[in-house]
A and B are shown apart, each in its own frame.
Chain A
Amino acid sequence: MLKRLRKQPAGIVGAAILLGLLLAVILAGVVAPYSPIAQDLPHALRPPSPAHWFGTDEFGRDILSRMLYGSRIALLIGLSTVAGSMVIGVLAGLVAGFYRGPGGEAIMRFMDILLAFPYLLLALMVVAVLGPGLYKAMLAVAILNVPPFARLVEGMALTLRERDYVEAARAAGAPGRRILLRHLLSNMWGPIIVQATLSVGAAITAAAGLGFLGLGAQPPTPEWGAMLSTGRDYMLTSPWVATFPGLAILVTVVGFNLFGNGLREALGGRTAAGPPI
């Protein structure tokens, strides 16, 4: 698959962006010129300059440093929420698609109910129940992403369970759990990974949206959405406060989308999920 991915220029660009993000995450503590939360009120709302490449915010905090530290939060949100959704969604989809029956039917109808909520409304409802905060927003975003995984895996399990090699394993007396893990799941990883990659970008955007609404990460956490939210008040006088965090979200999401679509093409377009290119 990696060989085929190398033939996808868009996928390579995506991989390069993600590598840059990873470097920012790892080196934030080393390369960030200032502390992300240290206030310097006399230098508040300064435009970009050699001392502060991306300018300063309303508390005189260095925006570049906050963005670099913010990359850690973005990646934490993206990867952990999607990992959680993937585990639950894959298990639910496998059970529903392989065993079927009333249990499987109940699982998929529950997924239908979750899908009946417009994307952000479900997250808002979870936040309404749990209250605002970064980890609560992450839980909300994780719940949003479960149904797409469950649907994808259920669909694949329904097809694969009728294949000859699964019949053969069954005839040979292999227990259901072994068939699930060894014969079904091992043939599903490609589309699942593509779905996961494309979901990371969406998860980062959704969490940033909650942060923007004041319902996600709380001050002074350098989360990109929350930074945009405070920058909104200074849009007309100090536009750099909101411009750079937004650009960081855009580039990161483009990176995940390009990489995910590159993976999809490398796999021969075996999954229909995700945004278009």
Chain B
Amino acid sequence: MARFLIRRALLLIPVLWGAASLAFLGLHMVPGGIAQAILGEHATAAAVAKIEHDLGLDQPLYVQYGHFLVNSVLGRFGISFRTHDPVFTDIAAAFPYTLQLSGAALLLALIVGIPAGVVAAVRRGSWADAAISTTVLVGVSMPVFWTGLLLIILGAAKLGIFPVSGAMTAGIAVAPVTGLPILDALLTGNGPAFTDIALHLALPAVTLCLFPLAFIGQMTRSSLLEVLSEDFVRTARAKGLSERATIFRHALRAALIPVVTVVGLQLGGLLSGAILTETVFAIPGMGYLTVNAIQYRDYPVVEGVVVVTVALFVVVNLAVDFTYALVDPRVRYA
């Protein structure tokens, strides 16, 4: 198992290096150069030269690339043009909100998706199956930003229960423990803050969960249908086990193995969806940070966010591979 994990981890290094290099080269290919892009079309040559000197852009490309690689490893992405804070500080402040949102959405998707998939498989061909399949189709086809807007109308404007935007009401403070606001509110026993954050989180999490929920539900359904026709399930039924015990104790365990892969595949989608969801609900997470950085041509932030997000993405995928190998030994020896 350790050898499998080490081999997979080593394979990630070239991918990470390649992705970081692509980000570096891409941003250095900005038409007219980075300094010109920051200052605009009508900038004077002297102003461009000054910015290039200040940012080290007048050095040879290979020197800049070397600095970039070393600084990326150390987490030093420079200073944001917009906030004048170190980029790492901005990312560290935004990341917990994205993690909180993605985690809540994934949890919702699993809690609803797996039982829905089980019902659809067990009652194959029934109205419940048809309803779940239709929901899945709509779930994967609905643009996440539109879902968010509809939920704002329904949940915030019509019902008046949920806040329209933001991660928590201004003035509410949570003592930091883990860095995740909702978890910290819970751990410190701060009831009012927990309720406030949960209410702010509800609509964005529902918005973001639809897509993974649809995939998880569909994968659970098809995987369970396949497993239900296996010999060991027939044996379980033949020895007189109840249908409930057969499904939950035997079939579902085996059927959930491919679901782990689907969860892994959904993580990229979750991060992409989080960019749009955070924009709709004005949550100050990584997506919000990225979109603002692009709009303000804040290149150090764009570079930092790309490197950190890709690194997180591949590490999470490694964790999924590890989980997969843990639940299905065949993977380790493939």
Residue A228 CB within 8 A of the other chain: yes
* Contact B140 A276, beta carbon cutoff 8 Å: yes
A-B interface pairs (CB < 8 A), number:
154
Contacts of A130 in B (CB 8 A): 31
Residue A135 CB within 8 A of the other chain: no
Residue B27 CB within 8 A of the other chain: yes
Binary interface encoding of chain A residues 204-222 relative to chain B, with 1 for a CB under 8 A from any of its CBs, else 0: 0100110011110000000
Interface centre among A126, A225, A276 (most CB of B within 10 A): A276
Binary interface encoding of chain B residues 7-34 relative to chain A, with 1 for a CB under 8 A from any of its CBs, else 0: 0000000111011001100110111000
Minimum CB–CB distance from B82 to chain A (whole Å) comes to: 14
* Contact A120 B275, beta carbon cutoff 8 Å: yes
Chain B residues bordering chain A, tally (CB within 8 A): 60
Contacts of A131 in B (CB 8 A): 31, 37
One of A18-26, A150-158, A186-194, A245-253 at the interface: A245-253
* Contact B146 A124, beta carbon cutoff 8 Å: no
Interface SS of chain B: helix
User: How far is it, in angstroms, between the C-alpha of A124 and the C-alpha of B278 when the chains are bound?
Assistant: 15
User: How far is it, in angstroms, between the C-alpha of A109 and the C-alpha of B18 when the chains are bound?
Assistant: 9
Residue A231 CB within 8 A of the other chain: yes
Residue B215 CB within 8 A of the other chain: yes
User: How far is it, in angstroms, between the C-alpha of A127 and the C-alpha of B290 when the chains are bound?
Assistant: 12
User: How far is it, in angstroms, between the C-alpha of A120 and the C-alpha of B286 when the chains are bound?
Assistant: 13
Interface centre among A118, A249, A253 (most CB of B within 10 A): A118
Residue B138 CB within 8 A of the other chain: yes
Minimum CB–CB distance from B294 to chain A (whole Å) comes to: 5
Contacts of B302 in A (CB 8 A): 124-125, 128
User: How far is it, in angstroms, between the C-alpha of A201 and the C-alpha of B156 when the chains are bound?
Assistant: 29
Minimum CB–CB distance from B240 to chain A (whole Å) comes to: 35
Within B48-64, the residues touching A (CB, 8 Å) are: none
* Contact A116 B310, beta carbon cutoff 8 Å: yes
One of A32-40, A76-84, A171-179, A232-240 at the interface: A232-240
Residue A167 CB within 8 A of the other chain: no
- Nearest A residue to B295, CB-CB: A214
Minimum CB–CB distance from A6 to chain B (whole Å) comes to: 20
Known: A118-B313, A250-B142. 8 other contacts (CB 8 A): A125-B27, A128-B26, A213-B276, A213-B291, A228-B145, A254-B137, A276-B218, A277-B137
19 intermolecular pairs with C-beta atoms under 8 Å apart: A118-B309, A119-B272, A120-B273, A124-B275, A128-B297, A201-B141, A205-B143, A208-B145, A209-B143, A212-B279, A232-B149, A235-B149, A236-B153, A242-B146, A246-B143, A246-B146, A250-B141, A254-B137, A258-B137
Q: Which B residues fall within an 8 A CB radius of A?
A: 14-16, 18-19, 22-23, 26-27, 29-31, 37, 133, 136-138, 140-146, 149-150, 152-153, 156-157, 164, 214-215, 218-219, 222, 267-269, 271-273, 275-276, 279-280, 290-291, 293-295, 297, 299, 302, 305-306, 309-310, 313-314
